[in-house]
């Protein structure tokens, strides 16, 4: 049974699965690793499948879980003090839709003016409290809270400018449509494209 399922999956779904993973993961090497992992798990767990008609949805569910686990293994990394281009990895998407959007969100955060980008990075992805942020950046507590709030507002506006979102009753994203050409193909994955399309001109962020 396991061999039959694995062979079917390989011949019928190998390329569609690769395309599915490429849409959600930016790095080709990671895509190939995930693809191998998916087929390994198909082979290992094929005997647990009871309804053959649900085979394809079962396989894609495995792929979704692999993508989610991949992002859970990553940490946001922003080279705030490096001379090279800042690099962000995506952190723990809650579901498949968020995994698909994660590269765009990461690029938008990276495209924020530095004070706001730094505030989001340190609080949301490094876990600093706003009080610790104030101490680290030499701000008043109210100034740190204000900066984080403004950073969140700017990120939200970038997302809404770039895409139209549909939400379920719990406020989770269930679908989205791109509003601009920079988002329509491979999502807003580079700061240069964002700057030209989605990111409005900014005057320097104030140092509260």
Q: Are residues 142 and 178 in the same domain?
A: yes
Strands 173-178 and 163-167: antiparallel
What 3-state DSSP class applies to 167? strand
Q: Are residues 110 and 65 in the same domain?
A: no
In a domain, 54, yes or no: yes
Is residue 45 within 8 A of residue 65, CB to CB? The reply is no
- The pLDDT tens digits for 25-76 are 878 888 999 999 999 988 888 777 766 558 888 888 888 888 877 776 664 4
- What pLDDT, on a 0 to 100 scale, did the predictor assign at position 171? 64
Query: Of 13, 40, 73, which residue is a domain's last?
Result: 73
Give the CATH number of the domain where residue 21 resides: 1.10.1740.10
Q: Name the H helices within the chain.
A: 2-24, 28-45, 55-73, 96-111, 114-120, 130-137, 141-162, 181-184, 191-197
Is residue 75 within 8 A of residue 106, CB to CB? The reply is no
Burial of residue 48, with CB atoms counted within 10 A of its CB: 0-12 exposed, 13-18 middle, 19 or more buried: exposed
In a domain, 91, yes or no: no
What is the residue range of 21's domain? 2-73
From CA 135, how far away is CA 143, in angstroms rounded? 11
- What pLDDT, on a 0 to 100 scale, did the predictor assign at position 36? 92
Average pLDDT over residues 159-176: 70
pTM of the model: 0.46
- The pLDDT tens digits for 9-30 are 888 888 999 988 888 887 888 8
Given a cut of 50, whether residue 87 has pLDDT beyond it is: no
Give the CATH number of the domain where residue 140 resides: 1.10.10.10
DSSP calls for 109-163: HHHS-HHHHHHHIIIIIS---HHHHHHHHT--HHHHHHHHHHHHHHHHHHHHHHE
């Amino acid at each position: 049974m396991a061999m039959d399922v694995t062979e079917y999956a390989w011949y019928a779904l190998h390329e569609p699965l690769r395309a599915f993973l490429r849409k959600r993961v930016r790095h080709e090497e990671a895509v190939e690793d995930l693809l191998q992992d998916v087929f390994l798990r198909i082979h290992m767990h094929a005997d647990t499948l009871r309804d053959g008609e649900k085979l394809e949805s079962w396989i894609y569910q495995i792929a979704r879980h692999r993508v989610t686990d991949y992002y859970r293994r990553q940490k946001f990394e922003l080279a705030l003090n490096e001379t090279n281009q800042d690099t962000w990895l995506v952190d723990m998407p809650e579901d498949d839709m968020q995994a698909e959007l994660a590269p765009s969100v990461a690029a938008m955060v990276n495209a924020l003016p530095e004070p706001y980008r730094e505030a989001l990075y340190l609080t949301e992805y490094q876990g600093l409290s706003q009080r610790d942020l104030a101490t680290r950046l030499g701000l008043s507590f109210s100034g740190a809270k204000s900066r984080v709030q403004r950073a969140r507002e700017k990120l939200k506006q970038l997302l809404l400018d770039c895409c139209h979102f549909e939400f379920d009753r719990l406020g989770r994203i269930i679908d989205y449509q791109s509003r601009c050409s920079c988002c329509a193909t491979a999502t807003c994955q580079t700061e240069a494209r964002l700057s030209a399309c989605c990111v409005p001109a900014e005057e320097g962020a104030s140092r509260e």
